[in-house]
Amino acid sequence: MKIRLLNKLLFFYCCTLSISCNHSYQKVGFQEGDLLFQNLNCGELCNAIEAVTEGIDGKDFSHIALVVNVNDTLKVIEAIGNNVQINSLETFFSRSGDTAKIENVTVGRLKKQYKNLIPKAIAEAKKIIGQPYDNIFLLNNGKMYCSEMIYEIFKESNKTKDFFVLEPMTFKDPKTKVFFPAWVNYYKHLNKEIPEGLLGINPGLISRSNKISILKIENYK
């Protein structure tokens, strides 16, 4: 009896502080505007990204995409590969080893009070299809990386005011405080300086936003 009472008090406390209750799981189907958080298996670079970017509930994310309706079919718009592009849900989930059942992707949805931003954000996303992928991870350089695309389209939808927050980027191992060798080699190959400390955004940071709810969706078919 005491344990049940304690659990209820903890639940109320969390809700009051808007911590865990912001991310309660719900069994629902996909909607246009949903955000898909993914753990890509791209080797050392993805591992380095995940080591310095904490996702909701301690999950690792290295990619994010936006669900859109195209001719009555749900697809995703994402910055991946060479550019911003539209792909099928099957293509997206296959990267995580998911078939019809979703096990390795986390789904986020804007809370009710922010849903009015979705149509404009989707329109903005469609405008930049084909824009080059930003492999340097810098803001405002005419290119887009995955979470930058989400940040920019919702900023435009929010009357050019930040909707998701930016934070200083780091490319250093949190344990040793030195740059990950993967990033050193990566930027050396690009002949660019590592943008340590510059403002940026990542999928993990977006997943922890108090403006979205995390959903339980079991399949996409």
* Residue 100, pLDDT above cutoff 90: no
For residues 30 and 173, the answer to whether their CB atoms sit within 8 Å is: no
Whole-model pTM? 0.85
Mean pLDDT, range 21-32, rounded to an integer: 58
pLDDT tens across 199-214, in order? 999 999 999 999 999 9
Lowest mean pLDDT among 55-59, 80-84, 136-140, 201-205: 55-59
What are the Cα distances from residue 28, in Å, to 109, 167, 213?
A: 11, 31, 12
pLDDT confidence band for 2 (50 / 70 / 90):
very low
Q: Where are the domains of the chain?
A: 2-215
pLDDT per residue as tens digits for the range 144-180: 999 999 999 999 999 999 999 999 999 999 899 999 9
Number of alpha carbons in the 13 Å side-chain half-sphere of residue 165:
10
Q: If you average pLDDT over residues 32-49, what whole number do you get? A: 88
Looking at domain 2-215, does it have CATH number 3.90.1720.10?
yes
- Which strand (E) or helix (H) includes residue 36? strand 35-38
More confident of the two residues 37 and 46: 37
How much of the chain exceeds pLDDT 70, in percent? 87
